[in-house]
Amino acid sequence: MSPATLHIGAVATAGKEEAIAAEKAKAAEKQRAKRPAGLMDRLNQFLAKFSPIKDDDKVSFFRLMATMINAGISITKALRILVEQIENAHFKQIIEDITTRIESGASFSEALSAHGKYFNESQIGMVESGEATGRLNQALLQIATETEKSTQLAKKIKGAMIYPITIIIILFGAMYAIMTFVMPKIKDVFDSLGSELPAMTQFLINASDFMVGKTAGIPNGLIVLIGIAAFIVIFMWWKKTKVGRLLWTKATMRFPVFGNLIKKAAIARFCRSISTLTNSGISIVKALYITAGSVDNPIYEKRIKLIAEDVKRGITMGENMKDDPLFPTMVVGMINVAEQTAQMDQITGKLADFYEEELDDMVKNLSRLMEPIIIVVLGGTVGFLVIAVMLPILQSSDLATAGS
């Protein structure tokens, strides 16, 4: 059974069955705690820590927690019910720890903050606000909705990248096979012609000789593959560092199509986060600081923190963002109106809806925009190979015809 279908109807009854189930779950947990863990149990617990926690798991968690709290079930009982039904072993361990912390006297937000790697500042801040205002179930529903929209946005952007990356991998694999398996056999044909080879043909043969050759007993082709794999690993590590993340973001934002996509994605996250946080009763300054950490763009993160500092000093957001290329004129104008009418949550929510629709359209059209580029690259590569292989054969046939 998937996490999204965990007996929501039964939970809504909030009757004796839930309380009994919670007590049974608690008793079973205590019984397991008394039983000494065997080697396989410890191994499974260790390996579970490496299993990824998907955003879909968190969406289901927050949504079901909101449903149960709204039905009158206490936080600890709701957590105990979910622990017994969560399928992800790693997430189960985290929820168990959160439950233990709450039973020891911590608040829900404090227990979540102990796992800041999996719950971001925005989610923790909204839970804290919900606890303070007595609207925890509403805050949890808002978190689930925001996380769901953010996940869908990320999936759309990643989906747009799958097509070109797949084509590049296939093209590289085909070139590797040609260099290591096809060209060495064709080389014998070229040698039998006895004539000087064209430059492009000679280039292919030299590249093939290098790929099938060996260095210290290791095939050069294998060394090239290992080198490419090592480069990708190092690049992915560098991209996660503070400097690498900033430089890579700056570079990608200058790309003709992807730059605009990244910019709109950051603005959509910015507006959605501000809307959700201010609607939860969080002050605009705190909302800006939380948004800076959750916008997933180091350039916008730095700029939003500067806006928060200026808002502290009495400068409005609209005035601060004016003439900034990171924020379109429409966004600045709408935020000006939002500040004047005290409707920040509603107006930024509409802005988020608008930019999310824009992103949806861009992603749908991205494949069409990239098709001509991919066709040109594939056509150019195939054309180069065909010409490089056929040209010496045609030249040899011309020489033979002229000689006769």
169 within some domain: yes
SS3 50: coil
Residues 235 and 375 grouped into a single domain = yes
pLDDT tens per residue, range 327-339? 999 999 999 999 9
**Overall domain count for the chain:** 2
12 within some domain: yes
DSSP β-bridge partners for residue 222: none
Please name the amino acid found at residue 353. Answer: D
pLDDT tens per residue, range 130-173? 888 788 888 888 888 878 877 877 777 777 778 778 888 888 88
> In the structure, what pLDDT confidence band is assigned to residue 351 with cuts at 50, 70 and 90?
very high
More confident residue, 399 or 109: 109
pLDDT tens per residue, range 374-397? 888 888 888 888 888 888 777 766
- State yes or no: pLDDT of 249 exceeds 50: yes
358 within some domain: yes
* Domain extent for 342: 151-404
* Residues above pLDDT 70, as percent of the chain: 84
The closest of 11, 13, 25, 109 to 67, measured between CA atoms, is 11
**61: buried, middle or exposed (CB in 10 Å: 19+, 13-18, 0-12)?**
buried
The angle that helices 344-403 and 136-177 make with each other, rounded to 10 degrees, is 10
More confident residue, 178 or 402: 178
Q: Is the dihedral of CA 285, 105, 69, 134 positive or negative?
A: negative
Q: Count of residues for the chain?
A: 404
Structure confidence at residue 238 (pLDDT): 93
Q: CA torsion 233→239→241→243, rounded to 10°? A: 140
Question: pTM for this one?
Answer: 0.69
User: Out of 44-48, 67-71, 128-132, 173-177, which region has the weakest mean confidence (pLDDT)?
Assistant: 44-48
- Other Cβ atoms within 10 Å of 23 Cβ, number: 12
138 within some domain: no
Structure confidence at residue 10 (pLDDT): 42
CA 100 to mean position of chain CA atoms = 30
- State yes or no: pLDDT of 80 exceeds 80: yes
Phi/psi of residue 214, each to 5°?
-130, 150
241 within some domain: yes
Residues 51 and 165 grouped into a single domain = no
